[in-house]
Each structure stands twice: as structure tokens, then as C-alpha cells.
Structure 1
Amino acid sequence: MQIESLEAEYRTSDTRMLRHPLYRYGSEDGRVPAHIHLGKEIYDAMVKHKDVTAMINADTEEKISYGELAQMTADIALSLARMGVRKGEVVSICSAKHFVYLPTIVGIMCAGATFSPLDPTYGSFPLLHRVKIGRPRVMFCSLSAYKTHKATFEEVGSVEHYIIYGDESAEGAVLFKDFLTETVPKLQDFQPVPVNGCEDSALIVYSSGTTGLPKGVPVTHLGFALNSQATLPDSSTGVGIYNSREFYYTYGLLYALSCLRVAATMVYNTVPGQQSMLEAIQKYKLKVLQLAPTNITELIKSTILDDYDVSTVQYIVSSSTYVREEAINAIKQRIPNLEAVLQLYGMSEAGCVCSDLNSPQGCRPGSSGTPSYGFVLKVVDLETREPLGPNQRGEICIKGPSVVKAYLHNVNPDAKDEEGFLKTGDVGYYDEDGYFYIVNRIKELIKFSDISIPPAEFEALLLQHPAVREVGVVGKPHPQHGEVPVAFIALQPGCTATEEELVNHVDSRVTFRMRLAGGVRFTDRIPLNGADKIDRKELRKRVIEEDAN
């Protein structure tokens, strides 16, 4: 029966107990513990696998076991309770990643409190905005973050206690080693503060801010317990996984906690760079790489990759923005034993929405997989808001137990439609088998003569040129067409290419509507935002400023 017939039959039936033929439904096989307590679930996994190596700092070669993390977690939770922290209160960390960071998070949750991360590299305005939303009572900080941002924290006035990581003290704060006033004698005797996992927030993270200022997103214990199962299989205990993201980024945080949940071995660098990462892969024979799409592009274009043994790498896990099929095929050529690039489609408001992990037909290049546990997805027309069938592009809307019920302080109350679906702002489609493909953000689409053009499609074409290292495409105002695409390009070291050559490279491969009518502008680096996505706001600003001169 055709889709049209199924939809007609659906509209003439009592729809309360029928699945909509144009909606895609995730598996309902997700498992959660009876207590539905994220902190307890992770703590119990630490105790169970206490002899497994939990984390390795590849720069210093320091290691820490899950047993040591469990002891630290329990001691932090008890010390927070002794300090007076109670269920539902917010505790933040403003620091780069280190061994104590993750047990601090789990300890916060085990104390019944809610954890909210803060990026120490932010300026005062974006940091102040997030502190005003979360209003933490306790702040864990690196010394540098404390010195840089204390005035900002004090402006909100919610922080009562500052705890400094490291051995160097600061006025008005307590050293972490002095904060640890309590200890649990036997790991199995520790019991976290009970929570209502269906309602209570384990985390407060922040939206990306692509549609205004970032919003506070409460993540329940239940929500995380479900969506974390779509990022790593339970059989990952002891598997070496490279963690490229900072823990204060939502993607890095959720992935790190997923690793703890299954007792995987996380390896990371504190010194950034491709060489440091490749040395870690070779030394620790890593099987899984957790990367951003920009990291994958760098590896494809790398001039040093062949100097390292990366034969143990079987999987790359990627999120943030989608990776096109051409790039997946290219990275497989550079890493011969790579079995798959697992693309996660996720967002702060819902966690892992789609994943290849449980897709019925395995990975599909260019796709983000099928809906994760408990999710219902629909694709709607950008104008009429009517649901669309396979291979039709529209806005992706999502519903499920992992989706935020409301932003903190109920900002943006119109975020959901009349059926309760969250409007993601992402343009995409699904194929006949229910695999989803993400095209672009609605706000990033280039409007050429009322036709919406995804900049990512230009970028994928330009990255196929051997001289191109990085590229970012945005719309440039045009009196006749509304907008025309302009490309900012960073060339590979030692390579040359002219604007005419690169424009012809695109124009010879696309229709008239997708030609690079705005031309090419060369730059040393493409600006990225905190999530390692192309900072299109900055590029659009450059276009306006350069054209004004």
C-alpha cells in the first residue's frame, strides 16, 4: 500500500491507538535500572569493574582505575553532604578535563544534586549568562578559572563555596584536598541519595544558541539512562576509546559519562593537536575514536597520518555536524581497518536522537542511523508544517522520554508543536528504511531566489579539492537573488589554488542554483565555535565588514 493510502486511512481512523505512517519510531527495548539514578548506576559500574583502567592521560602517561574513581566519587558525595549540599541544588565545574573532573560529576549526582558544566575559555558575558541560569551553590574550579572568572561568579551571588583543584591555594577558596573531609571505608557500603529519576535533573546543559541566547536544558536521570545506550554498547568494558572533547561540552560530557557507565578505558590529551592524538592511538592501541567532523577532515587531509600505526582503530564516533558519504569513504582509505563511522544525531535538548548502533541494517554512510530508544521523529514541510514521507526534506521534530519537557524558567515556550514534538531547527529527511540524514540548520540555509541551499553541500564539494584544508560557506546579501553563497577557504600547507579554479571546481558539479556565485575568500583558518562547528556568525560578519571596505 502506498504512503498516500496509508495516510488517508490513518486520517479517517480513531488515531489514538495507531502509529502515524509518516512518523519514524525508535526501539522500545531500552533498559533502565530499578532505581533510575544515573549517579548510582555509574558508581555501581565503577565498583563492579574496580580493576579496569578508567582513564589515561596520554601526555603524562598517568592512569587511574575504576576502583580509585569509585573511592573518590563516594568521598566527594559525602563531603558535599557534610558541606550542606542537598537534593536538587546545583553544583558547577569550571575547569579543563583531568582525573578528578568525572568523579566530581558523579559525586555531585550521588549527593542528590544537579551538575552544570561551565566553559573556562568563555568571556565574561557568555559565562555570566549560564551562571545566571544554573545559579550553582558550589563551584569547583581550576586555579586559572577561579582567578579569571571569580568576579563574574560573584556578580550572580549564588555561589557559597569555591573549591580549587590542584595544590596552589587562593583567597576565598578551599583546596580540593581540604574539601575532602569524609571518606567511605567500604565501597559497597556507600548509598547515594535517592532521587525520582523520571523527574529529577541529573544535569543542566545548555543549548547551542543558534536561535538566540543559549537556554538551560535539564536532563533527567531517566533521559540520560536511555539515550546513553545508543552511544556505546554494554560490551565496551575495558575497550580503549580516545576522548577528544572537553567534558564541559555537552557532547564530550555525555560521551564521557556513557564510557563510565560501561567501564570503558578513556584516553585523552591535554595538549591538543593531531600529532598528540596519533601518538596516543599508536601507544595505547585504541579501538574507538570519539571525534568531531572537523577532526575527521583533518585526518583525511593529514600529511603525517601514514607515519603512525592506527591499525587497531575500528570505529570513529562523530557528532555535532554530519559527515558526508564522500568523507566517510575517504577516511576509510586513510585508516584501512576502520569498519564504520558511527554518526550520532543529537542535541542538548534530547541527547542521542539517532544512532547507527541499533539500526536494523547496520551503518549506512552519510546517515545518522535510525531513531534511538523511545524516540518518535517526523519531518515536516518548512511552510505548511505537514508531515512528509521518505526522501522529502523538511524540519525534523522529535518526541520521547529523553526530550526536555521545558527549558529552565520556561523560556521559549513555543519550542514544541501542538502534538508535543520539539522543533529541532534541523533540516533533514529519512529514506525508505527509516535512516535519517541531516542536511543543515534552518538558520544556516542560504536563500537563493527563495530556494533554500545547504552550505554543507558546497563545503563537501570543496573539500574534495586536494588543495583545500578547511572551508566554510555562508550567504552573502545580493540585491537580485537575496543571498548568494561565498566560500572562505584555508589551503593545505604548500598548496596553491586560484579563486577561478575553486569556483569552477564547484560550478562544474552542480546545477545553476547551486553555483558559487559569491566567489572565494582565502583565510588562514576557519573560525570554530565552542562545539567545533563552523562559526558562521563570524564568517557572515566578515563578509559584511570586508564588503563595506
Structure 2
Amino acid sequence: MVNSHTRDGAGIGYRAPDEEEEATEPTVLVFEAREYSLSELDALADGLAAEMAGRGVKAGDRVALMSSNRPEFVVAVRAIWRLGAAVVLISPAYKHDEVAHALALTNPTLAVGDSPVLAELLPMLSLDDPVDPAQCSFPPPDPAAEAVLVFSSGTTGMPKAVRHTHASFGAAVGQWCDALQLSSTDRMQVLTPPSHILGVLNIMTALEVGAWVRLHRRFDVDRMLRHIETDRITVEMAVAPIALAIAQHPDLESFDLSSLRYIMWGATPVTPSVAETVTRRAGVGWVPAYGASELPVIACNPIEGARLDSVGRPVAGVSIRVVSLETGEPLGVGEPGEIQARANSLMAGYLPEETNAEAFVDGWYRTGDVGYLDEDGWLLLTDRSKEMIKVKGFQVAPAEIEAVLHGHPGVVDCAVFGVPDPVSGEAVIAAVARTGTTEAEELITLVGDRLASYKRPSRVVFVSDIPRLPSGKVLRRELKERYGRTSDK
């Protein structure tokens, strides 16, 4: 085992294990050349928790965490939970205004991370500073208390905070473990940001079952494939861009992927041609799954006999119904409507609280997705009733981008919409009515400077006017029909 106890600015370290521990305790987390056992992670979490407690963090508080992919992220989450506090996960891609909004919405007591943006806005414990491992005793957290807050954009434009309790997130971990049939013999790797619900769910589920996990700084398809081969990865997690990168890799056949039991496809609907290409070239099958920040695990395919046209059946503990988009009445088999779900893994609610009214109906969570259940209980998605754009698994609110564009003096009116994209799931398109000679690149750069990179429009189309109803509501479907082809200029 590599001794990663450091005091040279490389980040949180751990105590050196004695020979007996080193011989008996398995590694559960690997990052580059550093390896951690569960007891080493626990000792680091205890030490960081003690330091946060010394700064006034107590049960019921919230702590903001904005971190790149690194093992210190895992330590920080577990340390915050040690204190009975809730972790507010802020994407490392967020810019100043987005971080400021997240902090104002959640009002955290302290910040932890490696982001200079976060440090400007709130006193921050740096993950680059070493922490002395400790062995402390903490009371178990209240199951009904907040555990984790992640951000999910709403139709109002600014991101909402999704609140999960220890009970609801713990239930999601159990459902994910059961659905994917994970055990201590599995070996996984995490390449996506852990601040996303899927990233933190994958990490915490793996630790719960004692699986082996390699955490990467960032996604790189060559590195991912090489580590599947050398680490003998058994379960790979993929979103649409990762799946496409695998399918298009020119030397895919040169990698030994025989250790994989399956690749899980989540966050966006499966593109059958991409999945089938990987299976044909590499001999690896797929397990499509479906969830949301609000309800992390809704449906999943069986490990054996998965279908690419369906996200699977509802997992144990989750109930699904399909209701009419017009009347809200439950529909029968094969009838498409809005998908609604309820479970003990459902979020406790949103912040701001006034946004909760539209999210629930009679205790059912409104997913905003349209689909149907077939006669055998398989769930098939067909559309989205909400206006959200889903880019690389992240929800993007058109109104948030429109607010930035409206701030440009050359923009008279604008509307943002999404179109299918084989790489990102959806691409962001901005229709703009302008004055003068405002250029598309200027507007794209403006959004990129103000918002996370995945919210930046891939294309701007200039129009004479934005089609709207008398109420002022944008006719986005009309814009999609007129300008939705990605080849349009």
C-alpha cells in the first residue's frame, strides 16, 4: 500500500498503517498512486470533523463543498456527516454568480474545498492543507436530518437545491446496490464530477459494500479503457459522452475489457446505435437505468436480459404511475403521459420552498418526463414535459441562460432551447433577436464567462422575433422545428 500521508501541499494525508493492518485491510479507494483503506478514510474524516467542529460546525448545520475530483472530496463528505451536518455540493464548474446564488440559497456555516471562487465568498477550509487523522466518537445522525443538497435547475431559471435526508439518501444507496448487484468483489472507477447526484451515489454505494474504486481527476477515454484492463474493472458507469467516446475509439479492440460485467448507462436515454457499436466491438453489454436528483434511483434494467429501448422496471421500493398530461388521471398500460414516482428515497423537498408546490401531487413526485409502462411493467421514456435541457446528464434551465443574454445591449429578445445531440444528449441553442452587428461568438463567450461551461450555447441563430403566446410564453417547440437541426447555420 502506498503511504499517502503528506505534508507537502498535496492534500489530506492519512496515518501510516501498522504491518498487521496493511496485511489484512483491503483498499477501497485509489487516486493516482495513493491508496486508502476504509479505516484510513475514517481516521481522516474524524480528523477533519474535529477541525470543523472547532470552527463551530454542529448537527443541523450546512457545509458547502466545492471540490475537483480527488479523495479529499470523499473524506470531506464523510466528515460533514460525522457531525450530523449536511453537505452542500457545489459543482466545480460553477462561476462566481452561480456559487453566490448557491450559498445564498442554502446559507452554509462553513466552506470546504479547493476552489478560489468559493474561498472569495465564504471562509473555506482548503483541501490542500493536511489534516491530522484522529479517532473520535460521534453520535449517529438523525435519519430525518438533512444529509446532502445538490442543485437542479428549475423553470424559474436559477438552480434549486434538492434536499436529501440521511434516510432518503441511505435508501437510494441501498436501491442502487441492489439494482446493480454490487458486492465487495466489484471494482469500479469514477470519472464524472462527484458533485453530481450520480457521482456521489456511485462513490458512497461502493464504499457501503466495500467495493474497490479508482477516482480520476477528469474523464479521459484512453485512461479509462487502460484502467479497465489493468485494474480489472467489473462495473463501468457511463453517461452519453462517455458511451460515444468508447464507441468511436479507433483502437477499442486493442483493450482487454473482459473483466467488465456490464456498463451502466444513465443520466440520458440510451442511443441504441452507440450501445450496439460498443457491444459489437468490445463484447460488453449495457444496463440502462433511470433516476433524478430528486429521486436518484427510479428504474433499472436487470443485469441479465437488459433492453436498450427501456430504462427498465421500477426498482424495489419505488412506485411509478403514469398520468394524463391534461387531466392528471392515472393511465393504463401503453398509454403515454407524465411519469410520477414515490419512494422512501425521494427528496425531502426543494429550496426555495415555494418551488415545492409544483413538484408534488398527492405525495407523488412529478418527474417532468413523458413515457409509458408496457404490459410487462417495463418503463419507456418518450419525451419531456418540462423545458429543461439535459446536457451530459446536467439539467440546464433556458431561463438562466436567457437572463445572461438579455443583459447584452445588442439583444432585443431571446429564447433558449435544446436539440438532440449524440455527444451531449442535448445541445443548447439560443435564438436571438438583435440590434446592430452583435456576433454569435460574442454572445456565446458572454454566457461562458458567466455560467458553467456546459450551459454555454453550442450555436446562436439570429431571428427577426421570438414566437410567443399572448401570455408571453415562448413557443419553444416552434423554434425547435424551425432551427432545431444541428446542421442549420
1:85 is aligned, of 57, 81, 95, to: 57
2:98 paired residue among 126, 140, 146: 126
The one-letter code of the counterpart of 1:150 is A
Q: Secondary structure of the residue that 1:248 maps to in structure 2?
A: coil
CA–CA distance in structure 2, aligned partners of residues 235 and 413 of structure 1:
33
Tell me the residue number matched to 2:172: 227
2-side partners of 1:110 and 1:307: how far apart? 45
Which of 150, 155, 160 matches 2:119? 150
Contact 1:217 1:407 in 2 (8 A): yes
Distance 1:292 1:149 in 2: 27
Q: Which runs of 5+ in 2 are unaligned?
A: 1-20, 390-416, 432-447, 465-482
Superimposed CA distance per residue, residues 215-247 of structure 1 (whole angstroms, 9 cap, x where no aligned partner): 111101111121212323465214210212111
Deviations 1:122-152 (A, max 9, x none): 111111111112221121121xx12x4433x
- TM-superposed CA distance for 1:210, in Å, is 5.5
- Residue 296 of structure 1, CA deviation: 0.7
Look up the equivalent residue of 2:344 and give its one-letter code.
Answer: P
In the alignment, residue 113 of structure 2 is paired with which amino acid?
C
Aligned pair partner of 2:339 in 396, 412, 427: 396
- Residue-by-residue CA offset, 1:312-352 (whole Å, 9 max, x unaligned): 1221122211114443322211221x2x4222211111221
Give the C-alpha shift of residue 75 in structure 1: 2.1
Q: Would you say the 8 A contact 1:281–1:310 is kept in 2?
A: yes
Q: 1:368 to 1:472 in 2, by over 3 A?
A: closer
SS in 2 for 1:100: helix
Residue in structure 2 matched with residue 449 of structure 1 by the alignment:
none
Task: State the secondary structure of the residue aligned to 1:223.
Answer: helix
After superposition, the Cα gap between the structure-2 partners of 1:315 and 1:471, relative to the gap in structure 1 and judged at 3 Å, is closer
Change (3 A) 1:310 1:378: same
Rounded Cα–Cα distance in structure 2 between residues aligned with 1:331 and 1:296: 8
- Gap runs ≥5 in structure 1: 1-46, 154-158, 167-174, 185-189, 447-453, 464-468, 478-526
How do 1:399-478 residues align onto structure 2 when only pairs under 5 Å count? 399-443=342-386, 472=426
Q: CA offsets, 1:489-517, max 9 Å, x none?
A: xxxxxxxxxxxxxxxxxxxxxxxxxxxxx
Inter-partner Cα distance in structure 2 for 1:388 and 1:326: 31
User: Is the CA contact 2:192–2:219 (under 8 Å) kept in the aligned structure 1?
Assistant: no
The 1:365–1:282 alpha-carbon spacing in structure 2 relative to 1, beyond 3 Å, is same
Letter in 2 for 1:402: S
Q: Could you tell me which residue of structure 2 aligns to residue 6 of structure 1?
A: none
Report how far residue 211 of structure 1 moved.
5.6
The corresponding residue for 1:334 is 281
Match of 2:461 in 1: 543
Matching of residues 166-205 of structure 1 within 5 Å: 166=128, 175-177=129-131, 180=132, 183-184=134-135, 190-197=136-143, 199-205=144-150
Quote the residue 2:163 is aligned against: 218
Q: Contact 1:293–1:318 at 8 Å: present in 2 too?
A: yes
* Cα distance in 2 for residues equivalent to 1:209 and 1:417: 14
State yes or no: 1:135 paired with 2:138: no
**Shift of residue 444, structure 1, vs aligned partner:** 5.0
SS at match of 1:68: helix
Aligned-pair distance for 1:191? 3.6
2:47 to 46, 62, 75: 75
**Shift in Å, 1:109:** 0.5
Query: Which of residues 257, 268, 280 in structure 1 aligns to 2:215?
Result: 268
Measured in 1, the distance between the counterparts of 2:248 and 2:383 equals: 23
Q: Give the alignment's TM-score, normalised by structure 1.
A: 0.66
Q: 1:295 and 1:418, CA in 2 relative to 1: closer, same or farther beyond 3 A?
A: closer
User: Secondary structure of 2:349's partner?
Assistant: coil
Name 2:406's counterpart in structure 1.
Answer: none
Query: Residue 246 of structure 1 is aligned with which of 193, 215, 219?
Result: 193
Output the CA distance in 2 between the equivalents of 1:476 and 1:439: 24
**Alpha-carbon distance between aligned partners in 2 of 1:77 and 1:471, rounded to the nearest angstrom:** 39
CA contact (8 A) 1:231 1:357 kept: no
Which residue identity does 1:430 align to in structure 2? L
Measured in 2, the distance between the counterparts of 1:278 and 1:392 equals 41
Q: Take 2:289 and 2:72, find their aligned partners in 1: how far apart are those partners?
A: 27
Indicate which of 71, 84, 87 corresponds to 1:115: 87
Q: Deviations over 1:353-392 (max 9, x none)?
A: 112258xx85232222222232221112222222222222
Q: CA–CA distance in 1 between the matches of 2:273 and 2:383? A: 17
Give me the whole-angstrom Cα distance separating, in 2, the residues matched to 1:303 and 1:102: 34
Q: Name the residue aligned to 2:30.
A: 56
Letter in 1 for 2:224: M
Contact 1:313 1:335 survives alignment (8 Å):
no
Sequence identity, in percent? 24
Match of 1:25 in 2: none
| Runs of 4+ off more than 4 Å | 469-477, 545-549
Matching residue of 1:384: 327
| Matched position secondary structure for 1:388 | coil
What is the aligned partner in structure 2 of residue 38 from structure 1?
none
Q: Pick one of 300, 306, 316 that aligns with 2:253.
A: 306
Note the alpha carbon deviations across 1:132-183, whole angstroms, 9 max, x for none: 12221121121xx12x4433x2xxxxx4x421122xxxxxxxx343xx4x72
Secondary structure at the counterpart of residue 189 of structure 2: strand
For residues 302 and 221 of structure 1, what CA distance do their matches in structure 2 show? 40
> 1:521 corresponds to which residue?
none
- Flag the 1:406–1:150 CA change in 2: closer, same or farther, 3 A: same
Give the corresponding residue for 1:284. Answer: 231
Q: In the alignment, is the contact (CA less than 8 A) between 2:69 and 2:218 conserved in 1?
A: no
Q: 1:91, 1:354 → 2: CA distance?
A: 31
Out of 334, 343, 353, which is 2:288 matched to?
343
Q: Count residues with an aligned counterpart.
A: 400
Seen in structure 2, the aligned counterparts of structure 1 residues 211 and 365 have a Cα distance that, compared at 3 Å, is: farther
Contact 2:69/2:216 (<8 A) preserved: no
Distance (Å, rounded) in 2 between the aligned partners of 1:329 and 1:531: 32
CA RMSD in angstroms, aligned pairs only: 3.3
8 A Cα contact 2:69 2:215, kept in partner: no
- Bigger Rg, which one: 1
Contact 1:249 1:531 in 2 (8 A): no
**d(CA) in 2 for partners of 1:329 and 1:319?**
16
Query: What is the aligned partner in structure 2 of residue 355 from structure 1?
Result: 300
